[in-house]
Amino acid sequence: MKNILEAPFLVEMVRTTTNMYAHGWDERNGGNISVLLDEGDVAEYVDVNAVIRDIPTGFEAPALEGKYFLVTGTGKYFKNVQYDPARNLGLVRLTNGGKTAQLLWGFTDGGRFTSEFPAHMMSHAARLSVNPDNRVVMHCHPANLLAMTYVHDLDERAFTRTLWQMCTECIVVFPEGVNVLPWMLCGTNEIGEATAEKMKTARLVVWAQHGIYGAGADLDETFGLIETAEKAAEIYMKIAHLPLKNTISDNQLRQLETHFGVKAREGWVD
């Protein structure tokens, strides 16, 4: 059996959590990540038949039956993952229609997965239904996107168009736009279900006055999605109170579509 601390999926998770903390997106124990893994990759590093303990999930996810996830722990600080991955991360397999998570590695202090685990799993199921290559769900608290939800209309089209107009690359990186949820109580199945529904049409879902959810094929893509949206929000927050003399026009957004071979969400470019 290979050393799991050298597994590419674990190394990349450690690097990503460390980077997210350094960006200021995951203060204290804020934020969480889950990565869908292939059984073949997992079996190189852990005995998939040696279940450490069963953890009730509190929800159902039949579409994820038998699937493996590397996930951050509840109450854990991203800044500490690099120093003790086995304490702050866990590798689980969903069984019993998603109602049980079998712990195969990690959470060595007796801990469990993030309180946002239901939202993560529901979002994985939703994204897989539209993109079978999806592997990552990432939640964090980027300051400028969060600030933007206090001063900007939460209409999804308007919110997206503002981000698209802040940076030339935005419509190229997330042409499907950004979906937005009003404030909801976090850590519940209700917000998980609402987020999953939004994930069917976009890889980015903003939680007003809280943070953002991102999804992608790998950790780099998902991190980059959030990073790009956060940069656009930062520019908006710097200029929103100033007279606007220039912007990226709809005609220019169309030029970007054509040049980069992307298609903006229907009806969101005039």
Q: Catalytic positions, please?
A: 116
Neighbours of 46 (CB within 10 A): 19
Ramachandran assignment for 177, one of left (phi > 0), alpha (psi -120 to 50 degrees), beta (any other): left
In DSSP terms, 103 is beta-bridged to 53, 92
Contacts 24+ apart (CB under 8 A), 48-51: 48/93, 48/104, 50/104, 51/102, 51/103, 51/104
Q: Which residues contact 117 (CB under 8 A, 6 or more apart)?
A: 32, 34, 57, 71, 101
Torsion of CA 137, 187, 95, 42, to 10 degrees: 40
Query: Counting beta carbons within 10 angstroms of the beta carbon of residue 176, is it exposed (0 to 12), middle (13 to 18) or buried (19 or more)?
Result: middle
How far lies 149's CA from each of 28, 204, 215, 253, in Å?
A: 22, 14, 20, 23
Q: Is residue 212 within 8 Å of 145, Cβ to Cβ?
A: yes
Cα separation, 102 vs 91, whole angstroms: 8
Please report how many Cα atoms fall inside a 13 Å half-sphere around the Cα of residue 14, on the Cβ side: 16
Q: What's the distance, Cα to Cα, between the start and end of the chain in Å?
A: 57
